[in-house]
A and B are shown apart, each in its own frame.
Chain A
Amino acid sequence: GAVVSQHPSRVICKSGTSVKIECRSLDFQATTMFWYRQFPKQSLMLMATSNEGSKATYEQGVEKDKFLINHASLTLSTLTVTSAHPEDSSFYICSALLRLNSPLHFGNGTRLTVT
């Protein structure tokens, strides 16, 4: 079945630094990828929709200059958390769409801790 790989699985960084998270579709080309954030004991909240070759579409309340998304190829999307703060500590999960009307496939997630 379709596999989505997300890296790193865990990252600890100091406040003020930037962190890049990669999301790859391993055996299919994903025209669309989605980035979600999940705080402890809460639901998945959509941050942005990433389309290959175009700018990401951010959800209301998500700072596009803080959460930089790049979808340079049909198999790779990256999320960069810039100038990270402790409140950015969360579980970030990407998902990829194989084709329209197909189920989403999720990556394993990245646990970000900002100290």
Chain B
Amino acid sequence: GENVEQHPSTLSVQEGDSAVIKCTYSDSASNYFPWYKQELGKRPQLIIDIRSNVGEKKDQRIAVTLNKTAKHFSLHITETQPEDSAVYFCAATTQGGSEKLVFGKGTKLTVNP
């Protein structure tokens, strides 16, 4: 089955700096890679996703890159703000198949004002 590794587990940055979170996956059949932001006690919120036919996707301050050959994908947040502080989870799944999301262990991002 799929295994998703996520690093780092914690990340602290100064407001305005960039933050990068990296994930690797094991199943070469995985084709859909979403990123979720979860604030304490709340549901995960989808912030960006990428499919395996695309190498990069950007939405304002957030971008995701995917390297299918190396089986890793990364989340990039630029110009970080205190409200970006949360736990971020990467996930992988085989869409059109089981649709089961396998999550990474999460990264606690702290943006210091």
Contacts and interface: CB of A to CB of B under 8 A. Distances in A.
Interface string B20-55: 000000000000101000000111111001000000
A107 B43 contact: yes
Nearest to B106: A43
Contact of B34 (A43, A93, A103): A103
Chain B, interface SS category: loop
Interface in A84-115: 91, 93, 95, 97, 100-101, 103-104, 106-109, 111
B95 interface: yes
B101 interface: yes
Contacts of B44: 44, 93, 106
Chain A, interface SS category: strand
B101 A46 contact: yes
Contacts of B101: 34, 44, 46, 95, 104
Contacts of B7: none
Interface residues of A, number: 21
Given A103-B46, A103-B49, A106-B43, A49 B98 contact: yes
Interface in A10-42: 32, 34, 42
Given A107-B43, A111-B41, 16 more contacts: A32-B99, A34-B100, A34-B101, A42-B105, A43-B104, A43-B106, A44-B89, A45-B103, A46-B102, A49-B98, A49-B100, A95-B101, A101-B95, A103-B34, A104-B101, A106-B45
Interface of A: 32, 34, 42-46, 49, 91, 93, 95, 97, 100-101, 103-104, 106-109, 111
Interface of B: 32, 34, 41-46, 49, 89, 95-96, 98-106
18 contacts: A34-B100, A34-B101, A42-B105, A43-B89, A43-B105, A44-B44, A45-B103, A91-B41, A93-B43, A95-B101, A100-B95, A100-B99, A101-B95, A103-B46, A104-B34, A108-B42, A109-B42, A111-B41
